[in-house]
């Protein structure tokens, strides 16, 4: 273990990572560099500095990565209308490649021998962090304490803190759930949620009111798109992270964005989790709406056929992979004409598309109309089209084949 002289730790300032700082110092007799990222988790990150200093950490990185997170990770993912297993908007998954990238970059800047994280050996995050790190720095050493130590309960962690005089902040009203938050979502696991039959308690949710308690009047919002990304809300130009912050607030106030699912983890087990993704729920509906009038049919269908694979790549931790980059190149190319405005109505948990317009629209009113089209479409052409497409069916039926 003596070859490890310096380790960069993804540090939140909470119980687990505070224990990890001291454990790394004790176990590896090494210097620890802490890295704390603000990706919109809704809590102050600056207090992590004082906690790290109290643990003897000399090199402390605290960074506001909100704009980069949304611009370079969330927005590219939403260009593909990405959902995992038909429901999950990948809020945790999409944050991990950015953190992995910065861990590696800081390791390079500080001359560290290894990186470390607080992900457990049962979850997906260990895979995401480490696949990203290996892709960006092939020879990096990764230390995952949860796979090495025997501190496998909160009681053991607290005892470790007591024995080594590690300060533990006991917040009043702190959620008992295992939670992960960033600008895109907040997740909840554990406690009663480990029973798939048990309904989530109402006071668990942090970002949204219940649909029953939402306003009795709908809220309307208009989103302006440029090459597949939202650039303005109600006509006001905003930076990417400001867009998501604004939509989170609007959606949360209207009871939009709650999800309760059982998902298939990459490591093999099924896991029940609850998620709040208010702004992301609006973004998915709106993006599909603007694509519906601007994308060619076959391009749209091709994107839809590739989306589950793209979602799986992100969920499993392969953001920094050639297959994701290849898929991304195709997806981004399709967004050239995805420009225009979508109008939505938010009401008691629902997001309804009520209008869409674009200078690049492929919707032709003269052709689509049920009224007189002045010869824009010859309905007699449909007869030959149908017969040609039915040819193989007619031949098979004529040979007496049964379906």
Q: Is 160 annotated as a binding residue?
A: no
Q: Is 118 annotated as a binding residue?
A: yes
Q: Is 352 annotated as a binding residue?
A: no
Collect all residues with Cβ–Cβ distance below 8 Å to 310 and sequence separation of at least 6: 80, 82, 324, 327, 331
* Contact between residue 313 and residue 324 where contact means Cβ atoms under 8 Å apart: yes
Q: Is 15 annotated as a binding residue?
A: yes
Q: Is 102 annotated as a binding residue?
A: no
Distance CA 219, CA 344 (A): 8
Which pairs with CB-CB distance under 8 Å and at least 24 residues apart come from 47-53?
47/13, 48/11, 48/12, 48/13, 51/13, 51/18, 51/167, 52/11, 52/13, 52/21
Q: Is 310 annotated as a binding residue?
A: no
- Both structure tokens of 324: 């994701």
**Is 309 among the catalytic positions?**
no
- Measured in whole angstroms, the distance separating CA 237 from the mean position of its chain's CA atoms is 23
**Is 16 among the catalytic positions?**
yes
Cβ-based neighbour number of residue 303 at 10 Å: 20
Distance CA 245, CA 264 (A): 29
End-to-end CA distance of the chain: 67
- Measured in whole angstroms, the distance separating CA 184 from the mean position of its chain's CA atoms is 6
Q: What are the E-state strand segments in 299-403?
A: 340-347, 350-357
Q: Is 375 annotated as a binding residue?
A: no
* Contact between residue 356 and residue 292 where contact means Cβ atoms under 8 Å apart: yes
Q: Is 16 annotated as a binding residue?
A: yes
Cβ-based neighbour number of residue 188 at 10 Å: 24
Q: Is 11 annotated as a binding residue?
A: yes
| Active-site residue identified among 49, 72, 175, 178 | 178
| Active-site residue identified among 102, 113, 116, 125 | 125
Q: Is 275 annotated as a binding residue?
A: yes
Distance CA 279, CA 18 (A): 32
Q: Is 37 annotated as a binding residue?
A: yes
- Both structure tokens of 17: 């990572």
**Is 343 among the catalytic positions?**
no
| Residue 190, CA distances (Å) to 178, 209, 251, 257 in order | 6, 21, 25, 20
Q: Is 300 annotated as a binding residue?
A: no
Q: Is 361 annotated as a binding residue?
A: no
**Is 125 among the catalytic positions?**
yes
Collect all residues with Cβ–Cβ distance below 8 Å to 100 and sequence separation of at least 6: 128, 129, 130, 131, 132, 133, 136, 320
* Contact between residue 129 and residue 119 where contact means Cβ atoms under 8 Å apart: yes
Q: Is 88 annotated as a binding residue?
A: yes
| Active-site residue identified among 79, 96, 102, 285 | 96
Q: Is 93 annotated as a binding residue?
A: yes
Annotated binding site: 10-18, 37, 88, 93, 118, 120, 124-125, 128, 178, 187, 263, 275
Binding residues for L-citrulline: 88, 93, 124, 128, 178, 187, 263, 275
The residues carrying an active-site annotation are 16, 96, 125, 178
Q: Which residues fall in the annotated binding site for L-aspartate? A: 120, 124-125
């Amino acid at each position: 273990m003596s070859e490890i002289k310096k380790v960069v730790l993804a540090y939140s300032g909470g119980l687990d990572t505070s224990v990890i700082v001291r454990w790394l110092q004790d176990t590896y007799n090494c210097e620890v560099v802490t890295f704390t990222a603000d990706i919109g988790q809704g809590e102050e990150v600056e207090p992590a500095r004082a906690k790290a200093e109290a643990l003897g950490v000399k090199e402390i990185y605290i960074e506001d990565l909100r704009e980069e997170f949304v611009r370079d990770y969330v927005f590219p993912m939403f260009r593909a209308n990405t959902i995992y297993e038909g429901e999950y908007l990948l809020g945790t998954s999409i944050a991990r490649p950015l953190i992995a990238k910065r861990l590696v970059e800081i390791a390079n800047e500080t001359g560290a021998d290894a990186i470390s994280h607080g992900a457990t050996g049962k979850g997906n995050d260990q895979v995401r962090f480490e696949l990203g790190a290996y892709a960006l720095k092939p020879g990096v050493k990764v230390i995952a304490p949860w796979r090495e130590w025997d501190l496998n309960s909160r009681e053991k962690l607290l005892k470790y803190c007591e024995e080594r005089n590690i300060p533990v902040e006991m917040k009043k009203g702190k959620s008992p759930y295992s939670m992960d938050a960033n600008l895109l979502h907040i997740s909840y696991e554990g406690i009663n949620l480990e029973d798939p039959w048990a309904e989530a308690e109402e006071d668990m949710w942090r970002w949204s009111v219940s649909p029953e308690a939402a306003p009795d009047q709908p809220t309307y919002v208009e989103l302006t798109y440029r090459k597949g990304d939202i650039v303005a809300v109600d006509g006001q130009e905003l930076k990417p992270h400001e867009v998501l912050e604004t939509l989170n607030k609007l959606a949360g106030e209207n009871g939009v964005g709650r999800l309760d699912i059982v998902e298939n983890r990459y490591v093999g087990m099924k896991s029940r989790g609850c998620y709040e993704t208010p702004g992301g729920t609006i973004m998915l509906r709106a993006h599909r709406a603007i694509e519906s009038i601007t994308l060619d049919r076959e391009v749209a269908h091709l994107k839809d056929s590739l989306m589950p694979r793209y979602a799986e790549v992100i969920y499993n931790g392969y953001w920094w992979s050639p297959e994701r980059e290849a898929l991304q190149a195709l997806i981004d190319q399709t967004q050239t004409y995805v420009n225009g405005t979508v109008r939505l109505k938010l009401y008691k948990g629902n997001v309804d598309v009520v209008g869409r317009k674009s200078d690049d629209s492929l919707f032709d009113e003269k052709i689509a109309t049920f009224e007189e089209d002045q010869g824009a479409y010859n309905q007699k052409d449909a007869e030959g089209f149908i017969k040609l497409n039915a040819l193989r069916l007619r031949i098979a039926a004529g040979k007496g084949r049964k379906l």
